A and B are shown apart, each in its own frame.
Chain A
Amino acid sequence: MSASDAAHPPACAESPTWRRLGARASLAYLAAGAAFGLVLVRSEVVAWWRIQEMFRFDAFHMYGVIGTAILVAMVGVTLLRRSGVRALDGTPIDVPPKKGGVVQTLAGGTIFGLGWALVGACPGPILALLGTGLPAFGVVLLGALLGTWTYGAARPHLPH
């Protein structure tokens, strides 16, 4: 989902997430996340050192991973759309456009990049590293939640 499309969704009654999504879909999201986390650690893209190699142009690894990921995602989404297949929940496959002006994407992106270089991890790797048993990334996650919260509070005053 994009940042802004969930600002005013309808209110709803209380019920657990797995019941709303269905137990099977819930398990599928959990398994997809686990597979993703496993690949992130196995390919070492979660390593602080690999991020340094990337930003110092000393290794091809990260460029290869991100480049082929984009390529496969592009082919996969195109095939999925052309095939006319529906999602498992019966809805037609739909990729909404990413909203965002130049100011917010460039300023936010640069701030994100600064943090990425410092702690050597973006949100997926932060979670995977926490899973490998590095408590330092619990501190990083806390910082990321505080940053998210601060954005939410400051949002009306920020240019977009």
Chain B
Amino acid sequence: MGIPEWFLSPWPWWVAGPLIGAVVPLLLWIGNRLFGVSSSLRHACAILPGGPAFFRYAWRDVGGWNLLFAVGIVLGGGIAGLGRAPLDVAPATRDALAAYGVTPDGGLAPAALASAEALRRPLVWAFLLAGGFLVGFGARWAGGCTSGHAITGLATRQRASAIAVAGFFAGGLLGTHLLLPVLLPALTGGGAA
């Protein structure tokens, strides 16, 4: 294909982190906009007419930029997805998850959750919908997600963001160590590596 090796191989944290952080001043410079992805979900809801008061505002003026940014993320993912090195997983994580019946195959998400075969199972649909629901509901109640609170908010020393990030992490630990050990075996049909 002629795509250079450095482009296809995984980028280290010290390359990716600064590039992601640079998006914050970049958006401020382009048009005084605050980096935050979950707001685009609100603007998408606001496109539908006749919704709750929370969605009745001039979405084109307030959120037009954010929706374009979101479409851009999908496009960027598409470009990156054209070629990719197989994903390696840390041995400790790999072994722990194998006990719940989930094993890596080089893909970005487990086949048990994201393969075409998995999508034929209603239980997997319920899991994906519920997980997405928690992300959407929680982000809006908290007033932002990883980009808006953890990156933009902490970088500008916002107290609300520090509390939200503590919540993100508490929820993530609960989900990882309490919910997934129960849910994954159920989704994969019994567990055992």
The chain A residues found within 8 Å of chain B, CB to CB, are 1-4, 6-12, 15-18, 20-21, 25-26, 28-49, 51-56, 58-74, 76-77, 79-80, 85, 87-89, 91-102, 104-124, 126-137, 139-153, 155, 158
Contacts and interface: CB of A to CB of B under 8 A. Distances in A.
Nearest to A133: B81
B132 to A, nearest CB: 2
Contact of B78 (A12, A20, A131, A155): A131
Main secondary structure of the interface of A (DSSP, over half): helix
Contacts of B84: 41, 132
Nearest to A124: B37
Interface residues of B, number: 136
Secondary structure dominating the interface of B: helix
A103 B54 CA distance: 19
A65 B72 CA distance: 21
Given A73-B24, A116-B172, A128-B74, A60 B13 contact: yes
Contact of A114 (B7, B136, B179): B179
Contacts of A48: 108-110, 113-114
Given A68-B17, A70-B151, A100-B142, A113 B169 contact: yes
B155 A38 contact: no
Contacts of B164: 100, 105-106, 108-109, 112
A68 B21 contact: yes
Contacts of B113: 48, 119, 136
A140 B139 contact: no
B130 A7 contact: no
A89 B28 CA distance: 10
